[in-house]
Amino acid sequence: MLDLSRYQGIIFDMDGTLVDSMPSHLEAWRLTCQAFGYPYHHDYMHGLGGVPTKKTVEILNEKYALSHDPEEVATRKRQFWEQLDSVPALIEETVEVLHHYRPSMKIGIGTGAERPHAEKLLKDTGLLERIDALVTATDVSHGKPHPETFLTVAEQLGLRPEQCVVFEDTEIGQQAARRAGIDCILVLNGQIQI
């Protein structure tokens, strides 16, 4: 098991880090891009993982010189995702870390997902009752790569940033952790990178 004994709290990103929901989110984005006339590039959209949906729409509008309403596009993307009716699998390596350290450390989640989506996903996978703090895109003014999400989780855990470690699967999430002054461990394709 990974030695995290120098920390007092662990903060996990959710999608792509604890829960393998990225494929269904990317499919929902593909359908959304098709519906609104955005070019869809899988790797580019994967790189935006962790960015709140409305902010992603703003980025796409700027990139492709379009002016779609972020609220409207976000609502449609959520509808596409819900229609997929997929049950995401847990990512074994990171969930093992969560269960191993749960008795002795505080555990939080900092996600770019909206609160209703995050709560449902965590409840469905049995993780909601295993965590001490949940901070979503709904709870912050600035999404990742801004550090607010992870700083808010640390605060809710009653810890200073340097007492925590973040597990993240995207460069944007890593940037947010670094800007928060929190050590970060990368998770790529379900594998912890040490």
CATH number of the CATH domain containing 39 = 1.10.150
Residue range(s) defining the domain that contains residue 28: 22-84
Both 115 and 72 in a single domain?
no
pTM to 2 decimal places: 0.79
Both 170 and 94 in a single domain?
yes
What is the CB neighbour count within 10 angstroms for residue 191?
A: 12
pLDDT at 78: 87
The mean pLDDT value for 31-57 works out to 91
Both 75 and 95 in a single domain?
no
Domain C-terminal end among 64, 84, 104: 84
**Does residue 105 sit within a domain?**
yes
Which residue in this structure is represented by tokens 């074994």? 92
Both 72 and 109 in a single domain?
no
Distance, CA of 122 to CA of 82 (rounded, Å): 15
- How many residues are given for the chain? 194
**Does residue 1 sit within a domain?**
no
Give me the catalytic one of 13, 15, 20, 169. 13
pLDDT at 165: 98
Count how many Cα atoms sit within 13 Å of the Cα of residue 22 in the half-sphere of its side chain.
Answer: 25
**Does residue 56 sit within a domain?**
yes
Number of separate domains in the chain: 2
Domain C-terminal end among 53, 84, 115: 84
Both 155 and 72 in a single domain?
no
pLDDT at 51: 80
pLDDT at 190: 86
Both 73 and 101 in a single domain?
no
Q: For 46-95, what is each residue's pLDDT tens digit? A: 888 778 888 899 999 999 999 999 999 999 998 998 888 777 789 999 99
Both 154 and 172 in a single domain?
yes
Q: For 171-189, what is each residue's pLDDT tens digit? A: 899 999 999 999 999 998 8
CATH number of the CATH domain containing 125 = 3.40.50.1000
Both 96 and 187 in a single domain?
yes
Is residue 192 pLDDT above 90, yes or no?
yes
Q: Say whether 85 is catalytic.
A: no
